[in-house]
Structure 1
């Protein structure tokens, strides 16, 4: 393994040749001298960037500016077009790179919390992945150096920190990373103004246009210079005794923490001294995930996309903390999918709707050439059985009281007036001008190299990872997140292909994400029928994040190539991960020395 590039604030100021006063004032530091990787020659980047996380106030709505955290970037070496600012919102700049390029990113943390940048979807060395074990304190610096090995596609980067990831992403620390390659460049795909990213997030605005999340969080909260593997505010006083979910209410019907049935969970929430006595909204947010009541696209509320009568490539990212979207056009026209999170599909796939869970990306071919100027469209999140529907099916209509009661429970548990699974407008589209060019949809997009299940070393005995809950903590197989902890069944060998099966015994959906690689979906079992969800999952290509519905089992096929070291697997519903639903896995050399 290579050593990680951790540089203290004092060292950084020294080699950058910049005074502390200038750095803290936000003045651009001079280019840092190269850091040599242990045992290697000096790394010579094709592109070198400086990426700074810092507080800022932005005008998102009329009235006072909104305090956020945001990423600022500048090109130190290479093509200036590698960085595209995201005007008008709080999102970090879009980074554009080419497969095969060597990339150096100097991350500078000017927030008041520990943080690190996670490269979501990229195949990079373990110490370049950006996991909590590498977080740097306020004022410190971390250097990333890696070759871009991934296929052309839509990836992203976001903050990670033990206990603070949901908060930091919520308040703005996220941005897109777009990769291109020769195969993609040879296709007649929409480019330039017709290649449009759509980053979808849900937020809630409180007083004075401030973003409302959890008490004591955000850029204006008291500084947090320590680090904890728990979510903010999750101390022993809340975790222990007969708190929110005391006694057997936390357990499944048979009294084990192996799963959490509707009756067990609801008993813990609704009865005794627990859930209904104060602090319910904050606790439900931490346990179930944050659901906002305002939809933002590219960091802006009430967004409208003005288009010409032309074909567009819409790169859609769900960067919400917990909300899953059911994408569909309001007028019922089908969605044409050309790529998933790991790049282009072999051929276009048409869907009536597409499910997009947190962390997932999808690319759509949207052709407005047959729409008249003046046409108004809407990209929707269509209605589906979210929390309330799953409660009703798990616990019975008699307990929930049917549709209205179920909807009320969904809103109570999400803490939002915009319930999980509700129907709402994501983006308005206005056709405002005529375009002369006509672009035809390519029927062949890519040649995919597929893994073979018969090559898996554990084809007949997949590794099983069950989503569990116990003692107020999410977990896999009964184990919650512990920094740098890996158990024997979380160790794999370099150069092997494996099948991993994720099992969800819960009444909640989860977004399963693996760091450091892309996988292929082998099969889904026990998928909920008749709820208008699973038919919208696009499992045809490469992915790094997959939707796991209540009671569903999903088999994934993956290969551990190129790098040894410790990575992570998690739920990308960020509050779930902060509450334990994240674990490390370790890739060991094929031959381990005796």
Structure 2
């Protein structure tokens, strides 16, 4: 059964929601006057956010060495968190009340993660972007019951990258993510370490977990009705911090951007339109730095950028409106017409000097397209893929371990959708029959697919076969996933 829909006007709840951002009555009246007659009005918070809260930087999760493995202990639990003024929200977190610590590992290490569930309902943690055995993937087939512990283990066998972890229960993923389960998962390797890049975690290497939420007047987290893409909120959090301020201490700061929202896309840029440098995408380093002034990330996507600062300056990271290739009504409904201030960067009067950004970054060895054979076709529809809703008991595709495949993903629907594949990073061959732009030229595991457009992907599957336990592919707009926009594939022996 689908969730009830709700039209978003600027009612009393929205006035309370916007007031948590420090918006004045005049500004809120202006926003109210922008409301359309038949849908959600565009939201503009430029200059309206009272940036005052130091950015919380998630701690690095501790690990112990045992039997040749690095072992992490994670607990999913409920708690209360004061996020906005007015009171505490009932939230979920990992090793705490809201969100979770950053896991950091190195290529070649064997790791084990003990996931204990202290919630009163089943959940799971999926390691988004990770190459690993299907039984360790953390998808809907690896549910952890209340009071139980699940302990997957695997060897890290992929390049340095910014990944993340989040729950993946079938039909409940959006709610579990919205309540606060999730965190960063960073991989290091020798190639990235040899480069002269900012890498002092929490100092000049900063994780930015960006999410939008809705709050009541007493500070409670509100699960709103869904429409179109799912839940959209007017309060943007970074690492769980509302109205956040980042103290910049270096000439070059590495920002690891993660769109951890369930439905909203962001078009990141700075308030002064400065150029920043993208160095990595979902699956790791680009081959060369890419100068940009905007980068769009749909739910689940990541990008690493380097921002250059001068002493004493202040600048705001902002999300600008974006062209999702949809109608005006769909654009308003999806939040793509919104302009949102995200976080304020305040540079110190004296900054640590930085070396030039290397002209060469990663050495990506992409698969040979000649090995791909026939292209697999995937059509995205209204909460279906290839006209089928998700069925936990149906395997939609089998692929041979170690094989190279090309997939063509076509959005036949009039709504925004993106596409995420478990276990692999892929190369984007074309978008609407054109080569991808620089920001999409690296390793990816999640990609936006506009209505009426085909995106062609090339990937090589791992050698870890499992004839029973599947991986997932799905839309990462989480309400769409929950409603059935997901399929399953097995990796089998050749």
Cα deviation, residue 194, structure 1: 0.4
Q: Provide Cα deviations, 1:328-364, integer angstroms capped at 9, x if missing partner.
A: 1111112310000101111101123111011011000
Query: Which whole-Å CA distance do the structure 1 matches of 2:436 and 2:462 have between them?
Result: 31
Q: Give the match for residue 315 of structure 2.
A: 377
1:428 aligns with 2:344: yes
Cα deviation, residue 45, structure 1: 4.1
Aligned length: 427
Structure-to-structure mapping, 1:198-277, within 5 angstroms: 198-214=208-224
Q: Give the match for residue 353 of structure 2.
A: 437
Query: Which whole-Å CA distance do the structure 2 matches of 1:326 and 1:436 have between them?
Result: 29
More helix by share: 1
1:582 aligns with 2:491: no
Structure-to-structure mapping, 1:535-554, within 5 angstroms: 538-554=439-455
Matched position secondary structure for 1:168: helix
Q: Give the match for residue 13 of structure 1.
A: none
Q: 1:205 to 1:45 in 2, by over 3 A?
A: farther
Structure-to-structure mapping, 1:97-112, within 5 angstroms: 97-112=105-120
Cα deviation, residue 140, structure 1: 1.4
1:464 aligns with 2:474: no
Q: Give the match for residue 484 of structure 1.
A: 393
Q: Give the match for residue 287 of structure 2.
A: 346
Asked if structure 2 preserves the Cα contact closer than 8 Å seen for 1:53 and 1:173, the reply is: yes
Query: Which whole-Å CA distance do the structure 1 matches of 2:402 and 2:479 have between them?
Result: 33
Asked if structure 2 preserves the Cα contact closer than 8 Å seen for 1:381 and 1:424, the reply is: yes
Asked if structure 2 preserves the Cα contact closer than 8 Å seen for 1:133 and 1:484, the reply is: no
Q: Provide Cα deviations, 1:422-460, integer angstroms capped at 9, x if missing partner.
A: 1121111111231242321111112111112112122xx
Q: Give the match for residue 72 of structure 1.
A: 95
Q: Provide Cα deviations, 1:102-149, integer angstroms capped at 9, x if missing partner.
A: 111111111122111100000000000011111022111111111111
Asked if structure 2 preserves the Cα contact closer than 8 Å seen for 1:354 and 1:537, the reply is: no
Q: 1:322 aligns with which of 224, 239, 263?
A: 263
Query: Which whole-Å CA distance do the structure 1 matches of 2:428 and 2:437 have between them?
Result: 14
Matched position secondary structure for 1:442: coil
Query: Which whole-Å CA distance do the structure 2 matches of 1:358 and 1:171 have between them?
Result: 16
Asked if structure 1 preserves the Cα contact closer than 8 Å seen for 2:266 and 2:322, the reply is: no
Q: Give the match for residue 24 of structure 1.
A: none
Q: Give the match for residue 289 of structure 1.
A: 230
Asked if structure 1 preserves the Cα contact closer than 8 Å seen for 2:378 and 2:409, the reply is: yes
Asked if structure 2 preserves the Cα contact closer than 8 Å seen for 1:327 and 1:353, the reply is: yes
Using the size of structure 1 for normalisation, the TM-score is: 0.69
Q: 1:186 aligns with which of 190, 194, 203?
A: 194
Asked if structure 2 preserves the Cα contact closer than 8 Å seen for 1:352 and 1:536, the reply is: no
Q: Give the match for residue 134 of structure 1.
A: 142
Asked if structure 2 preserves the Cα contact closer than 8 Å seen for 1:52 and 1:71, the reply is: yes
Q: 2:165 aligns with which of 157, 160, 166?
A: 157
Asked if structure 2 preserves the Cα contact closer than 8 Å seen for 1:307 and 1:433, the reply is: no
Q: 1:337 aligns with which of 278, 281, 288?
A: 278
Structure-to-structure mapping, 1:158-173, within 5 angstroms: 158-173=166-181
Cα deviation, residue 46, structure 1: 2.7
Q: Give the match for residue 423 of structure 2.
A: 516
Query: Which whole-Å CA distance do the structure 2 matches of 1:523 and 1:44 have between them?
Result: 45
Cα deviation, residue 365, structure 1: 1.1
Matched position secondary structure for 2:175: helix
Structure 1 gaps of 5+ residues are: 1-30, 35-42, 74-88, 215-281, 393-405, 528-533
Cα deviation, residue 493, structure 1: 1.3
Query: Which whole-Å CA distance do the structure 1 matches of 2:163 and 2:248 have between them?
Result: 24
Matched position secondary structure for 1:390: coil
Query: Which whole-Å CA distance do the structure 1 matches of 2:353 and 2:477 have between them?
Result: 41
Matched position secondary structure for 2:158: coil
Moved segments of 4+, more than 6 Å = 534-537
Matched position secondary structure for 1:183: helix
1:307 aligns with 2:266: no
Q: Provide Cα deviations, 1:75-123, integer angstroms capped at 9, x if missing partner.
A: xxxxxxxxxxxxxx82200111111111111111111221111000000
Cα deviation, residue 156, structure 1: 0.5
Asked if structure 1 preserves the Cα contact closer than 8 Å seen for 2:420 and 2:473, the reply is: yes
Q: Which moved more, 1:432-441 or 1:343-352?
A: 432-441
Matched position secondary structure for 2:99: coil
Asked if structure 1 preserves the Cα contact closer than 8 Å seen for 2:430 and 2:436, the reply is: no
Query: Which whole-Å CA distance do the structure 2 matches of 1:117 and 1:44 have between them?
Result: 23
Query: Which whole-Å CA distance do the structure 2 matches of 1:327 and 1:486 have between them?
Result: 37
1:500 aligns with 2:407: yes
Q: Give the match for residue 531 of structure 1.
A: none
Asked if structure 2 preserves the Cα contact closer than 8 Å seen for 1:55 and 1:69, the reply is: yes
Query: Which whole-Å CA distance do the structure 2 matches of 1:124 and 1:309 have between them?
Result: 36
Structure 2 gaps of 5+ residues are: 1-62
Query: Which whole-Å CA distance do the structure 2 matches of 1:129 and 1:438 have between them?
Result: 38
Matched position secondary structure for 2:326: helix
Query: Which whole-Å CA distance do the structure 2 matches of 1:162 and 1:100 have between them?
Result: 31
Query: Which whole-Å CA distance do the structure 2 matches of 1:349 and 1:382 have between them?
Result: 19
Structure-to-structure mapping, 1:520-539, within 5 angstroms: 520-525=427-432, 538-539=439-440
Cα deviation, residue 535, structure 1: 8.2
Cα deviation, residue 519, structure 1: 0.6
Q: Give the match for residue 27 of structure 2.
A: none
Matched position secondary structure for 2:125: strand
Q: 1:560 to 1:514 in 2, by over 3 A?
A: same
Structure-to-structure mapping, 1:45-60, within 5 angstroms: 45-60=68-83
Query: Which whole-Å CA distance do the structure 2 matches of 1:45 and 1:206 have between them?
Result: 48
